[in-house]
Amino acid sequence: MPTMWQRDLEADRERLTAWLRRQLPDARDVRITDLVAPQSSGFSNETLLFDLECVENGCARRDPLVVRIEPKGMQVFPEYDLGLQFRTMRMLSATDVPVPPVHWIEEEDRSVLGGAFYVMGQVRGRVPTDQPPYHAGGWMTEVSPAERSAIWWGGIETLARIHRLDYRALGFSFLERPQLGATPLDQEIAYYERYLEWAARGRPQPIAEAAFDWIKRHKPVDEPTVLCWGDARIGNIIYNGTTPAAVLDWEMVTLGSPEMDLGWSIFLDRHHSEGLEIPRLEGFPSYEDSVARYEALTGHRVRHLHFYQVFAGFRFAVIMTRIAQQMVTYGVMDEAAGHEFETNNTVTRLLAKLL
């Protein structure tokens, strides 16, 4: 979904060029070309694409770059830590998890682009679409079943790569939140309990509330802890052909059970098919085969997939509550329709089915 405001790209170009000159004191003739704001940018952030051209050490260079800007207006999440995303990708750059190269971050001077932002390299390739959902339209409907299978397996293999990392050795222990609970799952449950209270603004959310009660009664114990991507799905991977070239969107990164990512990935794929009452595209492996492949790659036996699909549906339902309010705020829906959409949408209906 596009952002609900328009940027002044010429003013952005001028201010960003001056900022880049400060980051590149040894470069000459620094300029920005091909600056665009893609309409695929979501409600939770803004994205700008451009080419950086300059002369450095006597050589002309041209670098395709991306700017990610913290959201303004009505946010999807209660807080938005742009530095966390930047730091995560920088730390992962030394691993076998493919991430875009990150260059600079600006968290102090919000006069440049109206908020904190970071700059990373563009990675060429294609991303399975959310608009339309890839089972319903877009380029995924045009490739062969064998290519779809390879793309899906690439997503499962990417999850396994992330979960095989030693998060402590890499320095990700800072993601621990003992103030929220004794275990990573307790901490994540507490976070989304507060998120739901913040997003609901006193209005009943019957399906999300029923799911939350179920989650508290059925939560697993004695689980392994790994680095979790958070928004784990093929729609957050840039593919070079059928090979994952870059893993994107680390705003939900956390620690937790590996099954939390696996459950989210499967729930999101179910949402893009079953949730829309359309069949999965031919070539997509079954969820049973996906679990078996994941287990073979990680050595982790999956025991709580249903729980983590419900937990995924609950978290997504909380997020949709806030997105519905954004749609009202930005005039996409009237207030009555927006209030209905908060509690009755493709996510909540699939979640109710799982419950």
Tokens of 298: 């990680």
CA–CA separation, 30 and 138 (whole Å): 37
Query: Which residues are identified as catalytic?
Result: 231
Sheet with 46-56: strands ordered across: 27-36, 46-56, 59-69, 117-121, 102-106
Phi, psi of 163 (to 5 degrees): -75, -20
Kindly give the residue spans of alpha helices, DSSP state H, lying in the chain. 9-23, 82-92, 145-164, 167-170, 184-200, 206-218, 258-271, 287-298, 305-329, 335-343, 346-354
Residue 231 CB-density burial (10 A; 0-12 exposed, 13-18 middle, 19+ buried): buried
Under 8 Å between Cβ of 88 and 230? no
CA–CA separation, 156 and 293 (whole Å): 8
Under 8 Å between Cβ of 311 and 289? no
String of DSSP letters for 111-144:
TTTSS-EEEEE---SB---BTTBTTTSSGGGTS-
Under 8 Å between Cβ of 276 and 350? no
- Three-state DSSP class for residue 69: strand
Count of Cβ atoms closer than 10 Å to residue 67 Cβ: 21
DSSP structure class, residue 284: P
Say if strands 46-56 and 59-69 run parallel, antiparallel, or are unpaired. Answer: antiparallel
